[in-house]
Amino acid sequence: GQTLATASTDQTVRLWDVADPSHARPIGNPLTGHTKGVGSVAFAPDGQTLATASNDQTVRLWDVADPSHARPIGNPLTGHTNRVGSVAFAPDGQTLATASNDQTVRLWDVADPSHARPI
């Protein structure tokens, strides 16, 4: 695609229009909600959903179908007991894997992102 997501220690995620990579420009407002730095982002294969992982021990899902009006989806995914350092969608977009410094990997059913649940 032509949208890039970046994570930051300032607790935000920013979307960028990279249609012209030499002139990338921010899209909309930064995504906020995490209470500690964000270390990982991943787009679902369809490009409609973004997952963000944070040092606040949560993962958040975002509707980015319209990147200039991105919005949170559902409640934060919780269960890890240390920072979440990595997120990745399965190729079909139905499952999300999260990895944490608590030495666990969790799998989430995100077929309906507004009602994500642990597997």
* DSSP secondary structure string for all residues of 50-61: EEEEETTS-EEE
Can you tell me the distance from the alpha carbon of 92 to that of 27, in angstroms, rounded to the nearest whole number?
A: 26
Contacts of 47 (CB under 8 A, 6+ apart): 1, 3, 64
Question: Domain containing 71: what range?
Answer: 3-118
| String of DSSP letters for 50-100 | EEEEETTS-EEEEE-SSGGG-EEEEEEE---SS-EEEEEE-TTSSEEEEEE
CATH number (domain holding residue 47): 2.130.10.10
pLDDT, residue 10, reads 98
Domains held by the chain: number: 1
What is the pLDDT at residue 47? Answer: 96
Q: Is the pLDDT of residue 1 over 90?
A: no
Contact 24, 17 (CB under 8 A): yes
pLDDT at 60: 98
pLDDT at site 73: 98
Among 69, 110, 103, which residue's Cα sits nearest to residue 86? 103
Q: What is the pTM of this model?
A: 0.96
Model pLDDT for residues 2-61, shown as the tens digit of each residue: 999 999 999 999 999 999 999 999 999 999 999 999 999 999 999 999 999 999 999 999
Q: Is the pLDDT of residue 68 over 90?
A: yes
